[in-house]
Amino acid sequence: MKDEHNRIRGLQRLEKRVKTGKLTKSNINNKGYNKYLRMQGDVTIEIDYEKFNQDKVWDGLKGYATNTKLRDKQVIENYKNLWHIEKAFRMSKTDLRIRPIYHRLRH
């Protein structure tokens, strides 16, 4: 339900942007909800409602894309433990608050 709600909100934002005419050729990519945009000719940009409706099948599902040769269960287990690594990295970043060091004196 959450995925569907978010997808509909994204579609409404796209519709608003299409009406204002602020979309350009550079907006057509697969990032976020821009994947629902389609370009006709060189000027007209519209929303591809077919793609929007096809994505309904994936609502509520989570997938993992990987290039490893690990088994499915191993990938999921390793992904679940990723937060340990992220937490350690965050801690090391925040502990390194170093004040600026000036190599020359002002005078």
Stretches where the chain sits below pLDDT 50 are: none
pLDDT at res. 92: 67
pLDDT at res. 89: 77
pLDDT at res. 52: 87
The H or E element that residue 12 is part of is helix 2-20
pLDDT at res. 71: 92
> What is d(CA 98, CA 107) in angstroms, rounded to the nearest whole number?
24
